[in-house]
Structure 1
Amino acid sequence: MSAAQQLATPDARALQADIEGPLFQMGVADGKWRLLALNWPHAVIEVSAAVGAFAFRFELSGFPAQPPTAQPWDAALNAPLAHDKWPRSRGGRVKDVFRTDWMGGSALYLACDRLTIQGHQNWVTQMPARLWKPGGSIVQYLEEIHVLLNSQDFAPTLVTPA
């Protein structure tokens, strides 16, 4: 399938409209995040942290009806981010979300993540505000990450990713 055909799919068009929309663009203007690459069904988006920034590779097929899934990404190498460069925690929620032991580091432990919500049906009642909202915006997921990376719990890694 050509790039033009890929962007013609409803999910690709929905993401394109979302990243061109006001919520995503306000985050860009505020320096919270920026799109680095879009190669459907993947998008690499960099999210600013208290120190530095981290890239995340999102898999977005079925967007927005289906939740995205994301993993920390090394944009320079176009590969998963080495586990020793992942965000660190001072003992709070950052350690719960950025778990290198969860699914081999291929997904974040968030209620809005497609892979993580599977098998966590109790989250429907325990944390309904954090669940993916079908028809929603990628901004929901990005805000979750941005808040964590700018919280008091975030501890910069020894080598800050680009």
Structure 2
Amino acid sequence: MATGVMTPDERAFRGDLRKAPFMLGELEGRWKLESLEWPNALIDVTARDGLPYRLRFDLTNYPAAPPTARLWSRVENAALAPGLFPRSITGSGRVKDVFRTDWMNGTALYLPCDRTALAGHESWLQQMPSKRWQPSVGITHYLELVHELLNCPDYAPPAGA
């Protein structure tokens, strides 16, 4: 692709980055865009203990299609090792349910707003309408759901942290 020429999906994503909700989240330290190499974006989301968790988003066909994201190593620039995933305090809670290492090898978050997770779980759209992908809200909705999980009472850092 020639320099300066953007696809409509990239243009839409970049537009969402300039909207107040995304910018406010960055100003408040809830998340931070680290890099964007279309169609992938690396965004750090801050947990309640201050640990940043990097998400690697695939934004193909954004915002018409939901993005998909996986935890990504800030050090190795590769998929995050399962032992470094956030955990649930109880061992079986909301955080563990979303940041699953036993489903698709951790290649996506188990959320209704995630393209990969939604496939085969269409019933989630009726069961959890507030968590479904909302193209009009865009990436901020996905980030808010992740931030909420990483800051809820059920969150525990990785065992080795």
Please give the range of the TM-score, normalised by the shorter of the 2 chains. Answer: over 0.9
Work out the CA distance in 2 between the residues paired with 1:2 and 1:97. 38
Q: Which residue of 1 aligns with 2:60?
A: 61
In 1, distance between residues paired with 2:61 and 2:72? 21
State how far apart, in whole Å, the 1-side matches of 2:93 and 2:73 are. Answer: 24
Cα deviation for residue 47 of structure 1 reads: 0.3
Deviation digits for residues 97-144 of structure 1 (CA, Å, limit 9, x no counterpart): 000111111100000000111111111211111110233310100001
Which deviations, in whole Å up to 9, do the C-alpha atoms of 1:6-56 show, x marking residues without a partner? xx1000001101112111000001110000110000000000001211000
**Identity over aligned pairs, percent:** 47
Q: Is the 8 A contact 1:60 1:68 kept in 2?
A: yes
Per-residue CA deviations over 1:57-89 (Å, capped at 9, x if unaligned) read 000010011100000001221101111000011
Q: What is aligned with 1:21?
A: 19
Structure 1: distance between partners of 2:156 and 2:111: 19
Retained in 2: the 8 A contact 1:112–1:132?
A: yes
Q: Distance in 1 between matches of 2:74 and 2:109?
A: 17
- Alignment correspondent of 1:50: 48
Equivalent residue letter for 2:78 = A
In the other structure, the counterpart of 1:153 is 154
Displacement, 1:2?
A: 4.4
CA distance in 2: counterparts of 1:134 and 1:38, whole angstroms: 19
Task: Tell me which amino acid in the other structure corresponds to 1:159.
Answer: G
Over 4 Å off, 4+ runs: none
In 2, Cα distance between equivalents of 1:159 and 1:27: 28
Deviates more, 1:34-43 or 1:71-80: 71-80
Q: Alignment partner of 2:4: what SS?
A: helix
2:98 corresponds to which residue?
97
The unaligned stretches of length 5 or more in structure 2 are: none
